[in-house]
Each structure stands twice: as structure tokens, then as C-alpha cells.
């Protein structure tokens, strides 16, 4: 009986090792890819198999190739994101690997995330001055770096919009729509973030 237990243990250990080797062989290409590109993130099922492989840009938005896997490792869908928006060719696969559906998604490249600074009415209530005075005199500072010991390099008007180029901690790196300035603005000066067309200033769908 003791010998039988030993043989069974060795048998299980042997096949466990073989399974681990096979799993490593399947995962190594993905591991190598992640090591080369730190913006790639893997989301797994409870059993450890890959569910999603997706890439992010410096703003923390989905950007680049996106893959959805089944539990058995086969691919459900492949597509692409640009700044958190689906774009380009998207392909959905059947269980046997054949193509179920293909579609091309076209987006307007002029649609970008913008910060909206506090309005004259908001600031007038905060500082106790009338809206007209605030509109013509009050500005928000634009900084040279995302830090509380930064140097002021410009000003942004109340109610103005600026395109977000980067996010870091409590700051947004923006491009102003009026003076075409670049710099960092503190989140406390931002009322909302919306997706707008940089040419028409209209809200994007």
C-alpha cells in the first residue's frame, strides 16, 4: 500500500510538472511582451488563465491592441483602442476559431479629453466678487511641472477649455485652446472633464 501511494504521488508530480511546463511555454511569449512594454496589462480568470490582454497609454486609457480570451485559451475577440475609444478593425471568433463577425470602427481624431475650468459664477461665489470682475480679472495658474513647488509659466481664463495631454498625481498637462500654451494645471482648478472636438469645440458622442 505504501509503495502504491509513492507511485501515485510520483505520477501526479510528473504530470503536474509537465502541465506547468506546457503552461510556461504558452505564457512565455506574453511575459516577454509585457517585459518589453510596461503599459500592457493582463486580467485573468479565477483559474489563472488569461481573460484580457490590453494596453494603456500614459493617461491610463485603453490604447492599442485588445484581446479577449476564453477560459480554454482560444480568442473571443481582437480589436484596437485609441484613447479609450474602440477604433479600427474588430474581429469576433467562434469556438472553433473561425471568424464570426468583422467590423471597422471609424472615429474622429479631433475628439479629445478636455478640462473645463471653474466658471466666473463659481469663482464669484467663492471669493465674494461679482461675475464681471471675475471674468475680466481672475485667472488660473499654468505650471512648468506637476509639483506644488513649480514655477508659474502662464495663465488660463475662467470657463476656458484645455486639451489634456497627460495626467500625473494632482495635475493635468494641458494645451490651452486660446493661447496655445502648454503646462500643468492643478486638479483643484478643474470643474469637469469632457470629450470635445478640438476644432469645433462641440461635444463628441
Q: What is the pLDDT of residue 58?
A: 80
CA distance 80 to 53: 11
* Pairwise CA distance, residues 154 & 192, whole Å: 21
Between 27-31, 35-39, 100-104, the lowest mean confidence (pLDDT) is in 27-31
Task: Give the angle 170-174-175 at the CA atoms, nearest 5°.
Answer: 170
Reference 68, options 37, 36, 100, 38; nearest CA is 100
Please tell me the predicted confidence (pLDDT) of residue 30: 53
Helix and strand totals (H; E) in the chain: 3, 13
Question: What pLDDT, on the 0 to 100 scale, is given for residue 61?
Answer: 87
pLDDT at 2: 43
Residue 3 has pLDDT above 60, yes or no: no
Question: Does the structure show a pLDDT above 60 at 19?
Answer: no
The per-residue b/e assignment along 162-180, b for 16 or more CB within 10 angstroms, e otherwise, is bbbbebeeebbbbbbbeee
Q: What is the mean pLDDT of the chain?
A: 83
pLDDT in tens, 96-155: 999 999 999 887 778 889 999 999 999 999 999 999 999 999 999 999 999 999 999 999
List, in order, residues 6 or more apart from 170 with CB less than 8 Å away: 146, 186, 187, 188
Report yes or no on whether pTM surpasses 0.85. Answer: no
Q: Is the dihedral of CA 186, 190, 196, 201 positive or negative?
A: negative
Does the pLDDT value for residue 178 go beyond 50?
A: yes
Which domains, from first to last, does the chain contain? Answer: 20-105 (2.20.110), 111-197 (2.30.30.40)
Amino acid at each position: 500500500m505504501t509503495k502504491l501511494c509513492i507511485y501515485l504521488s510520483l505520477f501526479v508530480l510528473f504530470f503536474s510538472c509537465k502541465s506547468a511546463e506546457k503552461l510556461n511555454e504558452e505564457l512565455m511569449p506574453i511575459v516577454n511582451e509585457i517585459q518589453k512594454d510596461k503599459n500592457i496589462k493582463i486580467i485573468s480568470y479565477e483559474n489563472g488563465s488569461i481573460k484580457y490582454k490590453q494596453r494603456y497609454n500614459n493617461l491610463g486609457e485603453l490604447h492599442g491592441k485588445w484581446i479577449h480570451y476564453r477560459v480554454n485559451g482560444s480568442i473571443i475577440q481582437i480589436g484596437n483602442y485609441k484613447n479609450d475609444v474602440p477604433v479600427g478593425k474588430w474581429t469576433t471568433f467562434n469556438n472553433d476559431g473561425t471568424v464570426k463577425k468583422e467590423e471597422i470602427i471609424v472615429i474622429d481624431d479631433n475628439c479629445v479629453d478636455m478640462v473645463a475650468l471653474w466658471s466666473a459664477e463659481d469663482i464669484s461665489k467663492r471669493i465674494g466678487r461679482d461675475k464681471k470682475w471675475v471674468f475680466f480679472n481672475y485667472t488660473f495658474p499654468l505650471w512648468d511641472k506637476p509639483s506644488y513647488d513649480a514655477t508659474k509659466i502662464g495663465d488660463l481664463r475662467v470657463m476656458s477649455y484645455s486639451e489634456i495631454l497627460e495626467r500625473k498625481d494632482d495635475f493635468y498637462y494641458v494645451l490651452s485652446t486660446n493661447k496655445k500654451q502648454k503646462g500643468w494645471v492643478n486638479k483643484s482648478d478643474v470643474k469637469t472633464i469632457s470629450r470635445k472636438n478640438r476644432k469645433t469645440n462641440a461635444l463628441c458622442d
